[in-house]
């Protein structure tokens, strides 16, 4: 429907209008018709300046910047932010040990004042229409339109399937020593990794405790030089398959092995990879890194014009403060691009009018 209107407007017989007003130039006329077209789309399509998909720290910080730039912003979120199981958030000054749900609530309260509309819905598809606008489609099939798109949909950690991991995740089972190492300093720390990447995490955790044990759960993917390093740093390797882990009131107590033996342990850090929470950016054609995150330049811009990414979905350190900073950068970049489009259009109109004066 919108495209039909566009083509009618664009193929309009300009000479008819010019016969009424011979002083009007063809270029000027086309500009006016295009502007009318944009205004029409704004009204009928409820065209947004920006649609943000994902309401974690990245999406929310992008939203606050754009809201404060008086942009029309629609933010979609399924409220499954990555650290929702965490016992307390760290490495974000002024918010030490805040519960992630409380942190998000503070963000929501602050956003209200800037007119950002937040919708708790999943976006299942994103594409561009023939007018060059972004179309985001929710899980009920409803379409939403915008000039720019910010994807901040985050990652999900692949939690090992060993019984007990899910229950203790975020309180005694972790993946990031910078986020949770301080809380278990000096305690007995287990590293869980069936892949070949656990040895580095094991070495890193020696910073927080002398008592670190590497559990490989029936696998042995350790190369000779890694074995030497582990040995030199007093990190024993236990390869017995694990039956389950047990805890009380969120605190890990022991690891139970399939051979019937048990070992006391206070915390486990695991390495088991991550996946994108959703594949919207990849399906759109965004370039991905080998690690499975979206490639973006320093302005958070992807290879798709008008499509920006921020936070864990993109390539950088996975911290709340970094995600929020990338959201802010994306917000500024998007605002500048929108501003440039308006000033360019105005400059073109002025130039064409001057030419025919
Ligand atoms: C257990 C744990 C503890 C952590 N602790 C810390 C810590 O102490 N300090 C720290 O700095 N970092 C910590 N992190 C890392 C931190 O959680 C991430 O770096 C941060 O959440 C990234 O923010 P984000 O906005 O990119 O993604 P997220 O916070 O994951 O937010 C993405 C949002 O997008 C939504 N979404 C996804 N797909 C769609 C879709 N199709 N439609 C609509 N919405 C969608 C999700 O529901 C989610 O709300 C921790 C992570 C974990 C797992």
3-state secondary structure of 84: coil
Among protein residues, the one with the nearest Cα to ligand 1's atom 4 is 83
Q: Looking at the DSSP assignment, which residues form a beta bridge with residue 125?
A: 137
Run of H or E including 8: helix 2-10
- What's the pLDDT at 353? 77
Tell me the helix, strand and coil percentages in the chain, rounded to 5: 35, 25, 40
Cβ–ligand 1 contact at 123 (below 6 Å) = yes
**Closest to 59 measured CA to CA, from 322, 326, 327, 299:** 327
Among protein residues, the one with the nearest Cα to ligand 1's atom 41 is 123
Percentage of residues in the chain having pLDDT higher than 90: 81
pLDDT tens for 125-154 read: 999 999 999 999 999 999 999 999 999 999
> How many whole angstroms from 55 Cα to the centroid of ligand 1?
9
Cβ–ligand 1 contact at 148 (below 6 Å) = no
- What's the pLDDT at 44? 64
Local confidence band at 73 (pLDDT 50, 70, 90 cut-offs): very high
Backbone angles phi and psi of 346, in degrees to 5 = -65, -40
pTM over 0.75: yes
Local confidence band at 2 (pLDDT 50, 70, 90 cut-offs): very low
Q: Looking at the DSSP assignment, which residues form a beta bridge with residue 330?
A: none
Instruction: Using the predicted structure, report yes or no on whether residue 181 has a pLDDT greater than 90.
Output: yes
Cα–Cα distance between 88 and 90 in angstroms, integer? Answer: 7
- What's the pLDDT at 3? 46
> How many whole angstroms from 41 Cα to the centroid of ligand 1?
34
- What's the pLDDT at 208? 98
Which of 51, 52, 53, 54 to probe ligand 1 with, by most ligand atoms within 8 A of CB? 54
> How many whole angstroms from 88 Cα to the centroid of ligand 1?
13
Same fold, 5-156+275-356 and 165-270: yes
Instruction: Please give the radius of gyration of the chain, using alpha carbons only, rounded to the nearest integer.
Output: 27
Cβ–ligand 1 contact at 122 (below 6 Å) = yes
> How many whole angstroms from 152 Cα to the centroid of ligand 1?
9
Average pLDDT rounded to a whole number, residues 286-290: 95
Residues whose CB falls within 8 Å of the CB of residue 63, separated by 6 or more in sequence, listed in order? 52, 55, 73, 75, 111, 114, 116, 118, 327, 331
Local confidence band at 315 (pLDDT 50, 70, 90 cut-offs): confident
Ligand 1 atom closest to residue 76's alpha carbon, by position in its atom list: 43
User: Is-contact 133 47, C-beta < 8 A?
Assistant: yes
Task: Find out if CATH 3.30.2350.10 is the number for domain 5-156+275-356.
Answer: no
**Closest to 149 measured CA to CA, from 164, 165, 133, 138:** 133
Instruction: Using the predicted structure, report yes or no on whether residue 214 has a pLDDT greater than 90.
Output: yes
Superfamily of the domain at 165-270:
FAD/NAD(P)-binding domain (3.50.50.60)
- What's the pLDDT at 6? 45
Q: Where are the chain's structural domains?
A: 5-156+275-356, 165-270
Q: Which of 63-67, 163-167, 193-197, 332-336 has the lowest mean pLDDT?
A: 193-197
Average pLDDT rounded to a whole number, residues 252-276: 97
pLDDT tens for 3-42 read: 444 444 455 555 555 565 666 666 666 666 666 666 666 6
Local confidence band at 354 (pLDDT 50, 70, 90 cut-offs): confident
Looking at every residue in the chain, the average pLDDT score rounds to: 91
Cα–Cα distance between 179 and 327 in angstroms, integer? Answer: 20
Among protein residues, the one with the nearest Cα to ligand 1's atom 26 is 311
Residue 66 tokens, joined? 């754009």
- What's the pLDDT at 230? 97
DSSP letter at 76 equals E
DSSP letter at 182 equals G
Cβ–ligand 1 contact at 65 (below 6 Å) = no
> How many whole angstroms from 153 Cα to the centroid of ligand 1?
8
Cα–Cα distance between 24 and 8 in angstroms, integer? Answer: 20
Among protein residues, the one with the nearest Cα to ligand 1's atom 38 is 153
Cα–Cα distance between 54 and 45 in angstroms, integer? Answer: 22
């Amino acid at each position: 429907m919108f495209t039909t209107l566009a083509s009618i407007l664009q193929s309009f017989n300009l000479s008819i209008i010019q016969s009424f007003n011979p002083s009007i130039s063809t270029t000027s006329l086309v500009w006016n018709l295009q502007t009318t077209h944009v205004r029409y789309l704004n009204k009928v399509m409820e065209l947004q300046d920006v649609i943000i998909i994902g309401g974690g720290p990245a999406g929310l910080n992008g939203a606050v910047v754009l809201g404060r730039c008086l942009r029309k912003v629609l933010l979609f979120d399924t409220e499954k932010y990555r650290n929702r199981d965490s016992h307390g958030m760290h490495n974000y000054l002024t918010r030490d040990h805040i519960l992630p749900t409380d942190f998000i609530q503070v963000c929501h309260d602050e956003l209200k004042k800037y007119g950002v509309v937040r919708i708790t819905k999943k976006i299942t598809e994103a594409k561009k229409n023939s007018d060059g606008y972004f179309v985001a489609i929710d899980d009920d099939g409803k379409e939403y339109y915008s000039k720019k798109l910010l994807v901040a949909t985050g990652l999900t950690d692949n939690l090992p399937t060993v019984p007990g991991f899910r229950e203790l995740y975020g309180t005694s089972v972790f993946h990031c020593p910078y986020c949770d190492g301080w809380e278990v300093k000096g305690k007995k720390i287990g590293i869980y990794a069936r892949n070949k990447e656990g040895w580095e995490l094991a070495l890193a955790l020696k910073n927080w405790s002398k008592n670190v044990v590497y559990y490989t759960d029936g696998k042995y993917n350790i190369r000779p030089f890694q074995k030497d390093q582990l040995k030199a740093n007093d990190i024993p390797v236990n390869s017995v398959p694990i039956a389950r882990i047990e805890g009380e009131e969120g605190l890990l107590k022991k690891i139970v092995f399939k051979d019937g033996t048990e070992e006391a342990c206070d915390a486990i850090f695991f390495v088991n990879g991550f996946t994108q929470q959703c594949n919207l950016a990849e399906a759109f054609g965004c370039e991905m890194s080998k690690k499975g995150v979206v490639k973006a330049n320093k302005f958070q811009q992807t290879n798709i014009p008008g499509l920006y990414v921020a936070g864990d979905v993109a390539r950088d350190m996975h911290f709340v403060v970094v995600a929020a900073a990338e959201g802010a950068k994306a917000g500024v970049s998007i605002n500048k691009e929108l501003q440039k489009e308006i000033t360019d259009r105005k400059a073109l109109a002025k130039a064409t009018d001057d030419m025919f004066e």
